[in-house]
Amino acid sequence: MTRSPLRPVVGWPAEFAERYRAAGYWTDETFDAFLAERVRRFADRIAVVGVGAAHPRERVALSYAELDAAVGQLAGLLAAAGVERRDRVVLQLPNCVEYVVAVFAAFRLGALPVFALPAHREREIGQFARISDAAAYVFAGKGWGFDYAALAERVAADLQANGHQPPAAVDLSSWNLTGPGPYPSIVTAPAVEATDIAFLQMSGGTTGVPKLVPRTHADYLYSVRASADICDLDETTVMLVALPAAHNFPMSSPGLLGVLDRGGTVVLAPDPSPRTCFGMIESERVTLTSLVPPLAQSWLASAARGLRHDLSSLEVVQVGGARLADSVARRIAPELGCSLQQVYGMAEGLVCYTRADDPDELVTTSQGRPISSDDELRIDPETGELATRGPYTIRGYYGADEVHVDHFTDDGFYRTGDVVRQLPSGHLQVTGRIKDQINRGGDKIAIDEVEDLLLQYDGIHDAAIVSVPDAYLGERVCAYVVPKAPSSESGPGATDREPTLAEIRAFLTAAGLAPYKQPDELRIVAAFPATAPGKVNRRRLRASLAASVPATQ
């Protein structure tokens, strides 16, 4: 069996590509060339600090030159595992030093990382591997509170059983980051165009099957450079990556790539808790970090409780991924002793920032304005939905032609599904959402995916997933369930009783669903309000369920 070639995607029409190139947004730089150039300029500076995949308690620091050497070594190992130019490589790593090495090792081979989160399970990893037809799956053993090696085996067996060629399993917990490797180092990359797809990023998701976001070297590096300018990064920047490093926000807004662009230092926190992160801020003299709103709240609570650490090096805390309540926003600067920057972005492209010289009122109540004057925004006068196109916003998903028209307009605007208001200053406020998604403290959950799975549970006749307001998470996930009438059927969930939340959660875990997509609560109802069949009406059903029951029981 051979791997399928990289699939074609809808790209930018020639006239836009020419415009973006002429404006200097798109250059010829590729990711491998990006690293080579930074290694030349910043060789002895510290590029990455964190723990190793195999040693979650040991501090490792790599200079730019050492990072480059490790990239060559790992590229050698991936090549030995069969990875070639244009192959896809699913990366699922915790925040360890090897993460940064692995991203650039894939680029060194002209291969495309497919970014997965540590919380993903066999359902998501299997889908990513299948959709991308991945040649390799890179993970970090079982030292991180979960057995990824066993996950790799289950995914491979399942793919095989369904007629797919499983990816080569590459376990980095048994790879020696600093020692000479068993394979020849690879120091040059094959020819790749800057307008080629560089990697596949996960989309927040609104459908049962995830969509992969194809980003090119040119468009992504433009967003990284422009973000680093907006955030004023330089060689003295020390960024703490507290969120999962593969997420678009800590990766590129300006993220670890923006820091490497300027010769700064990336510090990877193995977990986002205040205890771990405050200690690292103090010991590494961190200047910048990015958080989702619930984490910002838990950091504020710990700071208020007097968790004793010196946070004085911290200059900016960015918050994004979900709507930050104005009341929480106002506490960040005085209580953490740094500036707040709000970030509203999406894997598909568009990123908005509040700026350092914005008035406090805008910083605490708006989600910023776009990176580029060539980011075009269109707000639907009736629904308030934001659609956007521009030099770093995709024109189509990877291999998902059937959903294209749902997500992109005829003239190439990406429909964000977000409801926004634009202020006279150009800043946006995110006021709501029309897409079938729940944003659980920054984690995105496709409603259809969870509903489809619940309908496979024998004890369930019908199910609807509804977002419930939550003071900490912003939203939590509530499953409304109409149980099946008692019957003699057998199978998972077949019972004469109403299903319990614990049983439903166990069922979804067995189905290989990521834990963050699990319902937080269950409400059993005898029947749903009558609605005609169809997607729009399921939306109405969810809305009427949300309205009919008080938010807290």
> What is the contact mask toward ligand OOB in residues 285 to 324, using x (rule: CB under 6 A)?
-----------------------------------xxxx-
DSSP 8-state assignment for residue 269: -
CB of 96 to ligand OOB, least distance (A): 21
Q: How far is the CB of 437 from ligand OOB (least distance, A)?
A: 7
Q: Are 455 and 304 in contact (CB under 8 A)?
A: no
> Which of 146/516 has CB closer to ligand OOB?
516
Give the pairing of strands 168-171 and 212-216.
Answer: unpaired
In degrees and rounded to multiples of 5, residue 382 shows phi and psi of: -90, -50
Give the whole-angstrom CA distance, residue 551 versus residue 553: 7
Whether the bond into 254 is cis, omega within 30 of 0: yes
Mask for 229-268, x = binds ligand OOB (CB under 6 A): -------------------xx---x---------------
Q: Which of 199, 264, 247, 252 is nearest to 227 (CA)?
A: 252
**418 part of the interface to ligand OOB, by CB under 6 A:** yes
Instruction: For residue 65, give both structure tokens.
Output: 């030159």
Report the nearest approach of ligand OOB to the CB of residue 433 (Å): 6
Selected from 72, 204, 399, 441, the binder of ligand OOB by CB under 6 A is 204
Which are the contacts of 283, defined by CB distance < 8 A and separation ≥ 6? none
Site for ligand OOB in 352-371 (CB under 6 A): 367
Q: How far is the C-alpha of 87 from the C-alpha of 114, rounded, in Å?
A: 10
User: Residue 444: which residues within 8 A CB-CB, separation 6 or more?
Assistant: 204, 205, 437, 438
CB of 498 to ligand OOB, least distance (A): 34
Residue 148 near ligand OOB by CB under 6 A: no
- How far is the C-alpha of 196 from the C-alpha of 190, rounded, in Å? 13
Q: Residue 42 or 414: which CB sits closer to ligand OOB? A: 414
Q: Taking CB under 6 A as the criterion, which residues in 317-346 touch ligand OOB? A: 320-323, 342-346
In the complex, the smallest distance separating the C-beta of residue 390 from ligand OOB, rounded to whole angstroms, is 14
3-state helix, strand, coil in the chain (%, to 5): 35, 25, 40
The secondary structure of 289-317 as a DSSP string is EEE-HHHHHHHHHHHHTT-----TT--EE
In the list 340, 430, 438, 522, the residue contacting ligand OOB (rule: CB under 6 A) is: 430
Q: Which is nearer to ligand OOB, 474 or 483 (CB)?
A: 474
Q: Which of 444, 476, 484, 517 is the binder for ligand OOB (CB under 6 A)?
A: 444
**Nearer to ligand OOB by C-beta: 78 or 256?**
256
How big is the site for ligand OOB, counted in residues (CB under 6 A)?
22
For the CB of residue 82, give the shortest distance to ligand OOB in the complex, in Å.
Answer: 31
- Whichever of 49 and 445 has its CB closer to ligand OOB, that residue is 445
Write out the two tokens for 407: 């997500």
Minimal distance, residue 494 CB to ligand OOB, in Å: 37
We find the least distance from the C-beta atom of residue 227 to ligand OOB, in angstroms, to be 9
DSSP notation for 326-363: HHHHHHHHHHHTSEEEEEEEETTEEEEE--TTS-HHHH
Q: Quote the CA–CA distance of 202 and 125 in Å, as a whole number.
A: 11
Question: In this complex, which beta carbon is closest to ligand OOB, that of residue 237 or of residue 253?
Answer: 253
> Which of 13/469 has CB closer to ligand OOB?
469
- The Cα 370–Cα 405 span in angstroms is 24
DSSP tag of 196: S
Interface with ligand OOB, residue 347, by CB under 6 A = yes
Q: Are 88 and 132 in contact (CB under 8 A)?
A: yes
Q: Does 439 bind ligand OOB (CB under 6 A)?
A: yes
Angle formed at CA 413 by CA 407 and CA 419, multiple of 5 degrees? 70
Q: Does 396 bind ligand OOB (CB under 6 A)?
A: no
For ligand OOB, the closer of residues 36 and 329 by Cβ is 329
Residues contributing to the site for ligand OOB (CB under 6 A): 204, 248-249, 253, 320-323, 342-347, 351, 367, 416, 418, 430, 433, 439, 444
